[in-house]
Amino acid sequence: MSNVEDLERFQPLLRQGSSGGAEASREEWIDPVEDGARSAAVSWISMTEAVDEVISLIKVWCPILFTSLFLFSKSLISTHYLGVKVIGEDGLAGGSLAIGIANITGYSLLKGLSMGMEPICGQAYGASKRGILCLTFQRAFLLLLITTIPMSILWFNVDTILLWLGQDVEIAYTARLYILYSLPDLLAQACLHPLRIFLRTQNITRPVTYSATIALLFHIPINHVLVSRFQMGVKGVALACGINTIIINLGVLVYLLFSPSTVIKPWSNITVDCLQGWNTLIKLAIPSAVSVCLEWWWYEFMTIFCGWLENPKANIASMGILIQMTGLIYAFPFSLASAVSAKVGQHLGGDNPHKARQASIIGLAISAVCGVLAMVFIFLIKDLWGSFFSKDTDIIRLTAMALPIIGLCELGNNPQTVACGVLRGCARPNLGANINFASFYLVGLPVAVVAAFWYDDGIVGLFLGLAAAQLSCAFMMLFVIIKTDWNLQAVRAKELLLASSRNNNLQPN
């Protein structure tokens, strides 16, 4: 279908405006001549526009990056305590497996579902629709709280599941202890994820950064007290993570309570409307969750695969250390993707398709540079990384063998992560989910299984599969972004906001 036919399909489009609690609506017609002129205008980006967009992105990206690094530092400290301060190999292996199960069955779902609110909030802020912004947060928060109920039930039976999967009895027991004491963190994350997105889509990022800084400063002393003084072992490490997330939530709450009246509060205009009209949010949240889970689960499945390799304890422990590296590096493209997603959503909501396209191009260019830098960093630190978490020579050796492959993965991981952020800003999560499934499970998984078990490459073979998945995902994502009709996405943004305010049905793609 041609671009003109696409636009005609949406004419006439009802644009709804709002002022305070009262809403007025008027009918506006999209002028094909004006739209065609605007389509021609998006072909080039001037140097001035590029510099302005880089500066604008960096202002949003840097606080998100610092927040992501602070949040990830919590994971690094916890892994260090599991491997060095608790009970060595058994603690590190059991804790790593528990973190993997928690990610598969809990954290990835919460993060993915919360991303369903990101395009709505970003576009609502760009269109100055405060009511939709608050209502979307309230619905998303309730959705995540409800989701934690089946997650908690599953966590109480995690040891039975692990034994059924053929895991070592001692590792399964340690994993059960860790995951049960992670329940407070699960509930706290259900609050934190929508709060971060709610503020980020308004370009408010510093409160979360400051709160994460304070939480990190307390994290080491809390770990020391719980693990060393009260001898709680893996239970203390898990509980310390929950306390860290609770501190961040409290810090953001204090900011919202004492912030100026110009700052939009998530509880503003709270009514029974938040209990109904979830169609639009769920249609975006489910494919967003699928997209995130497909990628996250692939990493955690590799942890389970390590339990089937020779010397499972060393391989699982090494995988836990390697995932810490991928998580550290991932903070950079993820935070950039979050900034790009917010900018793209705001520009589309404000009826500026040219600027939305511009933000996506600049973001992808920065991500390519980050990928090269990440690869160089990993190559430089490959012989030192494992010793930070363990003194076991087998674990350090396995870690050093696999890290160069992870470095190559970053050449694809950075661009595909940012491209996925562009799709989120455009409210096209179905497309991202399909690409992630094809690249990770139709390309990466077969390569990983064949390399690890057929050719006996072990943990290195698993990461060769990751490299195949990341590179194929990057190529498919970039192809989609290149083919995007930005004028059509601006029209869809109006339809999204209309559906969110009137509870109409909406096809996300």
pLDDT in tens, 189-230: 999 999 999 999 888 989 999 999 999 999 999 998 998 888
Residue 300 resides in a domain = yes
Q: Are 96 and 168 in contact (CB under 8 A)?
A: no
For residue 85, what is the DSSP state?
I
pLDDT for res 210: 94
- Residue 158 domain boundaries: 45-502
Report which listed range, 156-170, 188-202, 266-280, is most confident: 188-202
Residue 448 resides in a domain = yes
C-alpha–C-alpha distance, residues 68 and 203, integer Å: 16
Is pLDDT at 24 greater than 70 in this prediction?
A: no
Q: Where are the alpha helices (DSSP H) in 307-382?
A: 312-349, 353-381
Q: By percentage, how much of the chain surpasses pLDDT 70?
A: 87
For residue 274, what is the DSSP state?
G
Residue 33 resides in a domain = no
Is pLDDT at 88 greater than 60 in this prediction?
A: no
Is pLDDT at 243 greater than 50 in this prediction?
A: yes
Span 272-300, mean pLDDT?
85
Residue 261 resides in a domain = yes
pLDDT for res 14: 35
Q: How many other CB atoms are found less than 10 A from the CB of residue 28? A: 12
Show the tokens assigned to 411. Answer: 């050449």
Is pLDDT at 23 greater than 60 in this prediction?
A: no
Is pLDDT at 252 greater than 60 in this prediction?
A: yes
Percent helix, strand, coil in the chain, to 5, is 80, 5, 15
Nearest to 151 by CA among 97, 99, 111, 107: 107
C-alpha–C-alpha distance, residues 237 and 232, integer Å: 8
Q: How far is CA 509 from CA 5, 215, 317, in A?
A: 16, 39, 41
pLDDT for res 31: 41
Give the pLDDT band of residue 502 (cuts 50, 70, 90).
low
pLDDT for res 85: 58
Domain count, the chain: 1
Show the tokens assigned to 207. Answer: 């409160």
Residue 28 resides in a domain = no
Amino acid identity of residue 478, one-letter, is: L
Residue 167 resides in a domain = yes
Query: What is the maximum alpha-carbon separation in the chain?
Result: 73
Give the pLDDT band of residue 18 (cuts 50, 70, 90).
very low
Q: How far is CA 311 from CA 306, 315, 394, 446, in A?
A: 9, 6, 9, 22
Span 140-150, mean pLDDT?
95
Residue 487 resides in a domain = yes
Span 348-354, mean pLDDT?
90
Q: Are 329 and 374 in contact (CB under 8 A)?
A: yes
Amino acid identity of residue 377, one-letter, is: F
pLDDT in tens, 429-487: 889 889 989 999 999 999 999 999 998 888 899 999 999 999 999 999 999 999 999 99
pLDDT for res 4: 37
Span 279-298, mean pLDDT?
87
**DSSP 3-state of 14:** strand
Show the tokens assigned to 107. Answer: 């954290």
Span 142-166, mean pLDDT?
90
pLDDT for res 87: 53
C-alpha–C-alpha distance, residues 384 and 400, integer Å: 8
Amino acid identity of residue 342, one-letter, is: A
Backbone phi, psi, residue 46, to 5°: -75, 165
C-alpha–C-alpha distance, residues 265 and 287, integer Å: 27
For residue 276, what is the DSSP state?
S
Nearest to 398 by CA among 99, 91, 100, 89: 89
For residue 165, what is the DSSP state?
T
Q: How many other CB atoms are found less than 10 A from the CB of residue 238? A: 26
Residue 35 resides in a domain = no
Is pLDDT at 336 greater than 50 in this prediction?
A: yes
pLDDT for res 181: 95
Q: By percentage, how much of the chain surpasses pLDDT 90?
A: 44
Nearest to 387 by CA among 396, 399, 377: 396
pLDDT for res 267: 85
Show the tokens assigned to 479. Answer: 């192809």
pLDDT for res 312: 83
